[in-house]
């Protein structure tokens, strides 16, 4: 059983250590490649109201992922809870300094970096003439590079515990979820598909599709975490996002089986996985499959 998806999978990947990869979400980057194969995606606001993804893979390989973008301290802090191989394409000097203190295996597509460089990334200029939107990677090639650095390819941590899907009669009618990160360009909608018991994702009012397959993204669980988000804190527009804390300050909403459950999130340190609990303090049980997690600063940005 895979620790991130709860699914029974082949022996070759069942113990695959999580790969956490930074993928961008600016309009020029859409549609992205490889999100459809992710086990968990964390979406968080970045400079100027743009959102960016921490995309975590374990149970599936993705031959093309991207566009891959740079790291931020709080994205790395989110990733750290998986004990992953954290992969990105550059960051700013203070970001490198902070990330190197997190005791995390790293792969960076920027060859001028101060952390291990992965040569397996490539640029595809056929999709954009803007350099920052042209970087791509592959889970297969990244695992090969990880082996060269003698990183373990097994292990990892997961914030999720799993159950079987609710039967049709127990499925609810919370059909639509809207998350307003900043402005309409980054508005996210999920439409509940009762027959398949999953949520179809849209972005900026249009179905969010995979570049390679043309399929719309669908996930089995949606989590919305309420947390402190501050910024910009400097001239570059960098933000601060709190990803540790107790349940007293970490409200959360869990969408699965067509229902919404209000609860909390907590995490003592960045080295721990998140804990998701219902209103009675019990650990949440999620449906097996893929999960999308959104971090926002207040409940007014969530509609359902």
Among residues 116, 148, 180, the one where a domain terminates is 148
Give the model's pLDDT for residue 248. Answer: 59
Structure tokens at 66: 């991207």
- Both 111 and 212 in one domain: the answer is no
Give the model's pLDDT for residue 175. Answer: 84
The C-alpha atoms of residue 47 and residue 177 are separated, in whole angstroms, by 24
Count of structural domains within the chain = 2
Give the model's pLDDT for residue 78. Answer: 98
Task: Please check whether residue 34 lies inside any domain of the structure.
Answer: yes
Give the model's pLDDT for residue 76. Answer: 98
Give the model's pLDDT for residue 213. Answer: 97
Among residues 148, 178, 205, the one where a domain terminates is 148
- Both 29 and 138 in one domain: the answer is yes
Cα of 175 vs its chain's centroid, Å: 22
Task: Please check whether residue 156 lies inside any domain of the structure.
Answer: no
> Per-residue pLDDT tens for 206-262?
999 999 999 999 999 999 999 999 999 999 899 999 999 865 569 999 999 999 999
Q: Are 123 and 137 in contact (CB under 8 A)?
A: no
Q: Identify the CA nearest to 257 among candidates 294, 220, 219, 301.
A: 220
- Both 35 and 132 in one domain: the answer is yes
Among residues 91, 122, 148, the one where a domain terminates is 148
Range(s) of the domain holding residue 70: 19-148
The C-alpha atoms of residue 296 and residue 227 are separated, in whole angstroms, by 6
Task: Please check whether residue 155 lies inside any domain of the structure.
Answer: no
Give the model's pLDDT for residue 158. Answer: 98
The C-alpha atoms of residue 177 and residue 293 are separated, in whole angstroms, by 13
Give the model's pLDDT for residue 14. Answer: 56
Give the model's pLDDT for residue 9. Answer: 80
Which residues on neighbouring strands pair with residue 218, listed in sequence order? Answer: 200
Task: Please check whether residue 285 lies inside any domain of the structure.
Answer: yes
Output the domain CATH number for residue 211.
Answer: 3.50.90.10
Number of H helices and E strands in the chain, helices first, is 3, 22
Give the model's pLDDT for residue 10. Answer: 72
Task: Please check whether residue 60 lies inside any domain of the structure.
Answer: yes
> Per-residue pLDDT tens for 154-179?
999 999 999 999 999 999 998 899 99
Give the model's pLDDT for residue 13. Answer: 62
Give the model's pLDDT for residue 183. Answer: 92
Interior angle at CA 154, CA 152 and CA 159, nearest 5: 120
Task: Please check whether residue 13 lies inside any domain of the structure.
Answer: no
- Both 83 and 188 in one domain: the answer is no
Task: Please check whether residue 88 lies inside any domain of the structure.
Answer: yes
- Both 132 and 173 in one domain: the answer is no
| Pair type for strands 51-57 and 40-45 | antiparallel
Name the stretches of the chain with pLDDT < 50.
none
- Both 139 and 182 in one domain: the answer is no
């Amino acid at each position: 059983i895979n620790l991130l998806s709860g699914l029974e999978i082949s022996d070759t990947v069942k113990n695959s250590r999580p790969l956490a990869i930074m993928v961008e979400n600016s309009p020029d980057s859409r549609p992205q490649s490889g999100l459809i194969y992710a086990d968990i995606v964390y979406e968080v606001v970045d400079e100027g109201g743009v959102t960016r993804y921490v995309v975590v893979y374990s149970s599936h390989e993705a031959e093309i992922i991207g566009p891959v973008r740079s790291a931020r301290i709080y994205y790395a802090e989110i990733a750290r809870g998986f004990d992953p191989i954290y992969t990105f394409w550059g960051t700013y000097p203070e970001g490198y300094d902070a990330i190197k203190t997190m005791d995390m295996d790293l792969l960076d597509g920027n060859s001028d970096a101060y952390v291990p460089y992965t040569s397996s990334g490539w640029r595809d200029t056929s999709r954009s003439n803007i350099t920052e939107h042209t970087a791509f990677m592959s889970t297969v090639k990244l695992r090969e590079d990880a082996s060269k650095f003698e990183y373990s390819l097994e292990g990892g941590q997961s914030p999720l515990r799993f159950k079987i899907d609710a039967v049709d009669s127990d499925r609810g009618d919370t059909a639509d979820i809207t998350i307003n990160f900043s402005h309409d360009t980054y508005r996210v909608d999920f439409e509940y598909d009762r027959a398949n018991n999953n949520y179809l994702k849209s972005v900026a009012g249009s179905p969010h599709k995979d570049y390679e397959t043309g399929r719309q993204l669908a996930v089995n669980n949606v989590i919305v975490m309420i947390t402190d988000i501050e910024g910009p804190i400097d001239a570059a527009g960098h933000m601060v996002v709190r990803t540790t804390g107790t349940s007293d300050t970490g409200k959360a909403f869990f969408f699965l089986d067509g229902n919404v459950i209000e609860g909390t999130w907590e995490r003592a340190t960045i080295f721990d996985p998140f804990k998701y609990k219902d209103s009675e303090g019990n650990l949440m049980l999620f449906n097996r499959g893929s999960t999308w997690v959104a971090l926002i600063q207040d409940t007014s940005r969530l509609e359902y």
